[in-house]
A and B are shown apart, each in its own frame.
Chain A
Amino acid sequence: MLADVDWALIGQASLETLYMVSISTLFAALFGIPLGVLLVITEKGHLWEQPLIQSTLSLIVNIFRAVPFIVLVLFLFPVANFILNTSLGSTAATIPLIAGSAPFFARMVETAIREIDRGVMEAAQSMGASHFTIIRKVLLPEALPSIISGLTVTCVSLISFSAMAGIVGGGGLGDAAYRFGFQAYNDSMLFICGIILIILVQLVQGIGDWMSKHIDKR
């Protein structure tokens, strides 16, 4: 039965998935962390009270979270394809993936930072720390274990989202499973793609849990 599996195709699809997931996880972190920090510090009574910025950011984040991912993909994929002008579907697919995951991750960062005892921040203020120092040396390091757990969850959901994005032209394991497995009545192909996705998720979760636990000194 495994004779029906095109291993070269699987290899190619795995690489595409890895590419989409790692690029979009990276950018989700790059956008999500500052966004999460801003969401916290602009609120009332915090470091940089800015009600207008706070409510605008919050609204944007909520809109992105409310739109179903598949709609984001259908809407953003052609746009991304056009803007990036790339022949690589995987690259274009990262745009909706980032748009879909960064706001989620930003909320997780927000929660992680909000869990920090306000007194710790106040202690830093009493030492004469600037806002920037407080963010860099208090808020982020103290929230790091929770931020890493959040990034793990984000990365795992990006694996499944990437399978969806793949189908509309991004390539990867989801696409391979759909086209060469489901549509071609090749069950083993479908099966192998699924197995690889599961292994990937397990791996990411395992590494994330280990890292989060390792740095958690609470």
Chain B
Amino acid sequence: MIQFHHVSKRYEDKQKSTIAVDRVSLAIPEGTIYGIIGFSGAGKSTLLRMINGLEKPSEGQVFVADQEISQLADTQLRSRRQKMGMIFQHFHLLWSRTVRENIAFPLEIADVDPATLNKKVDYLLERVGLTEKADDYPSQLSGGQKQRVGIARALANDPSVLLCDEATSALDPETTRSILKLLQEINQELGITLVIVTHEMSVVQSICRQMSVMDHGKVIEEGTVEELFSNPKHPITKRLVTNELKSVDHVEEVLSIHLYDLRNWNSIQQLISRHPVHLQILPGNLNVHQPVISFRVQGKSEDITAVKSILQSANEEGLSC
């Protein structure tokens, strides 16, 4: 269990003080996959970094398994950190070390004996599917492979918590999916608690169970992922959810159809239903002089184009009869 009790983090500068995290209280249950989402500058990374003590709270307390992280002495904190893995958007691998040596690094830090170390590294290489790349340098790897090394490295000392700071934000959608799948497997197989910071709703949607939404240092909404997706309350959450619907290759367009054509509605609907689009009838556009009905259509642009041509030919037919 990871707990935040009224945690604030202030950055004092000569001129001004920024409040990066503002009186946050949260409880992240053991073994879950927890998402923290918000726009840039919301304070997500700062919150995450307080879990392993990379940042100290200005006020409040952070507990990991009933141990107050913010009160640990340096040496205690260091040994505690060995049981918390962390992965990063830009991987942060040591380019002077091979893949194998990179994964061995946290084990060296933990003073693991060479025989155990080698065995462990072999296992981790296998687990993340990089056995073939063991002796390559990070510069020879793709982004997805680099993140796999990052994950293997983070798992080396059998952590109970894995902190992910925008771990997929530098990757393409395909690679993102494979990394998320790997993270999910790790959570299931090893029971590790995953805390995932991201600004991409799709990441939260695909693997998180619970989530919280941050804005201006505050947690503005929290709950299960289903709850927040089906019934977002705060305007920011709504924005994040709708952004997601429009994400990547999805576009939205408003199309209309003349009332006359509704005589053929059944056949039109049949034609449209072949394309995976989301139709929503917009109310209030009906008037006697311009009897049209408007729809909001959401989907891939090619499907929308198809729907558009279906409606167009229906219009023309309507005029000809």
Residues of A in contact with B (beta carbons under 8 Å apart): 117, 119-120, 122-130, 133, 137-138, 141-142, 144, 215, 217-218
* Chain B residues near A141 (CB-CB < 8 A): 94, 96-97
Q: How far is the CB of B95 from chain A (nearest CB, A)?
A: 5
Q: Does B81 contact A (CB under 8 A)?
A: yes
* Chain A residues near B108 (CB-CB < 8 A): 137
Q: From DSSP, what is the main secondary structure of chain B's interface residues? A: mixed
Taking a contact as CB atoms under 8 Å apart, the answer to whether B78 and A119 are in contact is no
* Chain B residues near A138 (CB-CB < 8 A): 94
Q: Given the known A-B contacts A126-B81, A127-B105, A128-B110, are A142 and B92 also in contact in the complex, defined by CB atoms under 8 Å?
A: no
The digit string for B236-277, where 1 denotes a CB below 8 A from any CB of A, is 000000000000000000000000000000000000000000
Taking a contact as CB atoms under 8 Å apart, the answer to whether A119 and B95 are in contact is no
* Chain A residues near B54 (CB-CB < 8 A): 122, 125-126
Taking a contact as CB atoms under 8 Å apart, the answer to whether B94 and A120 are in contact is yes
The digit string for B65-97, where 1 denotes a CB below 8 A from any CB of A, is 000000000000111111011101010111111
Taking a contact as CB atoms under 8 Å apart, the answer to whether A144 and B96 are in contact is yes
Interface residues of B in 205-240 (CB under 8 A from A): none
A-B contact pairs, 25 of them (CB 8 A): A117-B92, A119-B90, A120-B94, A123-B88, A123-B92, A124-B109, A126-B54, A126-B84, A126-B163, A127-B81, A127-B82, A127-B86, A127-B157, A128-B81, A130-B78, A133-B109, A137-B105, A137-B108, A138-B94, A141-B94, A142-B95, A142-B96, A144-B96, A217-B138, A218-B95
- Closest 10 pairs between A and B when the two form their complex, measured CB to CB: A128-B81, A123-B92, A126-B86, A119-B92, A128-B78, A128-B82, A217-B137, A127-B106, A141-B96, A120-B92
Chain A residue nearest in CB terms to B97: A141
* Chain B residues near A117 (CB-CB < 8 A): 90, 92
Q: Does B52 contact A (CB under 8 A)?
A: yes
Taking a contact as CB atoms under 8 Å apart, the answer to whether B105 and A126 are in contact is no
Chain A residue nearest in CB terms to B137: A217
Chain A residue nearest in CB terms to B78: A128
Taking a contact as CB atoms under 8 Å apart, the answer to whether A215 and B96 are in contact is yes
The digit string for B104-121, where 1 denotes a CB below 8 A from any CB of A, is 011011100000000000
Partner of B94, one of A125, A133, A142: A142
* Chain B residues near A129 (CB-CB < 8 A): 78, 109
Taking a contact as CB atoms under 8 Å apart, the answer to whether B79 and A128 are in contact is yes
Q: How far is the CA of A142 from the CA of B90 in the complex (A)?
A: 16
- Given A123-B86, A126-B86, A128-B106, output 19 extra A-B contacts at Cβ < 8 Å: A120-B94, A122-B54, A122-B92, A123-B88, A124-B109, A126-B52, A126-B54, A126-B81, A127-B157, A128-B78, A128-B82, A128-B109, A128-B110, A141-B97, A142-B94, A142-B95, A217-B96, A217-B137, A217-B138
Q: How far is the CB of A102 from chain B (nearest CB, A)?
A: 25
* Chain A residues near B153 (CB-CB < 8 A): 127
